[in-house]
């Protein structure tokens, strides 16, 4: 064997190993190049999924703002030559009336008292009666040809200082028509009120209709004329007449006239007169025998009202 054969075999093996190394380097995956600006930024451990976009045809729900609590407060003061209540004269001497009321969103709470100038039995008894009342009024706009209707539900507690045996409570349901007819300076209103005194087991009703005439362009001065009709059941009639009248009756018809004058933004003045008579013979006879009533009674007074 020639001496140069081992040398040739070694050189051939070295050449093959070099080609295989270059081939591995050529086809080996290259390391990723790092951006120097991003190399120092911390990488999150995990990535939250992005929320799915809302469908375009679904409307966005909006929350209505809360209505602020802004109640209305009214105050009334009145002076009259006689005191009539529920169509019957309770005092033939002058009286002074006070009324305060707060209203919010149809709910209302009020108090009314009557001060008797002629009562000499003590200062506490000079307040002939006090009334605490609360209720809720619902207005129905689409009520046909008679315009909107206000339905009012009320609870009243009647207190009589010095005579607690007469204290009682009652509930009432009223239907008020504020726009029966209206054209130009003329308007016609009406109402029907049903009352039941559960303390005395009495029931009575009041129907009224009133005309309104505007006496100036702004309507701050008006002339009002109204008719009221009172009906009472047997217990109501016996209580009004001190057991002199038995049975149900339309016991009083009243004509009322007033001139309300809104002389300021929140103030109004209202002089008024009223004539009461008793169409039922039993009620008329009981009125003649009463110390305060008669077959026909004329009285009047003035009221000062404030509302803000």
220 within some domain: yes
195 within some domain: yes
The DSSP code for 296 is E
Can you tell me whether residue 52 is helix, strand or coil? coil
110 within some domain: no
- Which of 41, 119, 124, 87 lies closest to 206 in space, CA to CA? 87
Can you tell me whether residue 33 is helix, strand or coil? coil
Lowest mean pLDDT among 12-16, 71-75, 300-304: 12-16
**Arithmetic mean of pLDDT over the chain:** 81
- Which of 112, 116, 83 lies closest to 100 in space, CA to CA? 112
Domain of 149, in residue numbers: 135-307
296 within some domain: yes
Q: What are phi and psi of 50, to 5 degrees?
A: -75, 140
Residue 156 has pLDDT above 60, yes or no: yes
17 within some domain: no
| CATH number, domain containing residue 203 | 2.40.160
pTM (predicted TM-score): 0.75
Q: How many domains does the chain have?
A: 1
Binned at pLDDT 50, 70 and 90, residue 232 comes out as very high
pLDDT of residue 73: 94
Residue 25 has pLDDT above 50, yes or no: no
Tokens of residue 213, six digits: 């005439």
Measured over all CA atoms, what is the biggest interatomic distance in the chain, rounded to whole angstroms?
169
163 within some domain: yes
The DSSP code for 35 is P
Binned at pLDDT 50, 70 and 90, residue 57 comes out as low
261 within some domain: yes
Residue 229 has pLDDT above 70, yes or no: yes
Distance set, CA 180 to CA 138, 186, 191, 207, 217 (Å):
17, 11, 10, 14, 21
CA pair distance 79, 301, nearest whole angstrom: 5
């Amino acid at each position: 064997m020639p001496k140069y054969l081992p040398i040739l075999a070694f050189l051939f093996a070295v050449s093959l190993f070099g080609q295989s190394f270059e081939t591995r380097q050529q086809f080996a995956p290259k390391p990723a190049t790092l951006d120097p600006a991003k190399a120092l930024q911390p990488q999150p451990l995990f990535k939250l999924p992005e929320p799915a976009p809302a469908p375009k045809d679904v409307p966005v729900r909006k929350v209505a703002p809360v209505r602020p609590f802004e109640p209305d407060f009214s105050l009334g003061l009145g002076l009259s030559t006689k005191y009539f209540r529920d169509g019957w004269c309770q005092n033939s001497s002058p009286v002074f009336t006070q009324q305060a009321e707060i209203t919010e969103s149809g709910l209302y709470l009020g108090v009314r008292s009557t001060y008797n100038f002629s009562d000499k039995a003590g200062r506490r008894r000079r307040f002939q009666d006090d009334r605490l009342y609360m209720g809720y009024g619902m207005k129905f706009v689409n009520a046909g040809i008679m315009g909107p209707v206000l339905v009012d539900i009320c609870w009243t507690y009647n207190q009589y200082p010095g005579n607690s045996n007469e204290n009682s409570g009652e509930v009432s349901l009223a239907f008020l028509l504020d726009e029966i007819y209206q054209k130009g300076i003329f308007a016609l209103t009406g109402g029907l009120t049903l009352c039941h005194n559960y303390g005395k087991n009495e029931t009575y009703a009041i129907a009224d209709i009133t005309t309104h005439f505007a006496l100036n362009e702004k309507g701050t001065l008006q002339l009002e004329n109204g008719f009221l009709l009172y009906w009472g059941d047997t217990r109501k009639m016996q209580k009004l007449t001190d057991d002199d009248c038995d049975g149900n009756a339309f016991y009083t018809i009243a004509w009322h006239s007033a001139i309300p004058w809104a002389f300021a933004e929140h103030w109004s003045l209202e002089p008024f007169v009223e004539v009461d008579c008793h169409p039922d013979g039993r009620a008329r006879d009981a009125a003649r025998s009463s110390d305060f009533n008669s077959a026909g009674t004329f009285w009047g007074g003035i009221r000062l009202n404030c509302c803000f």
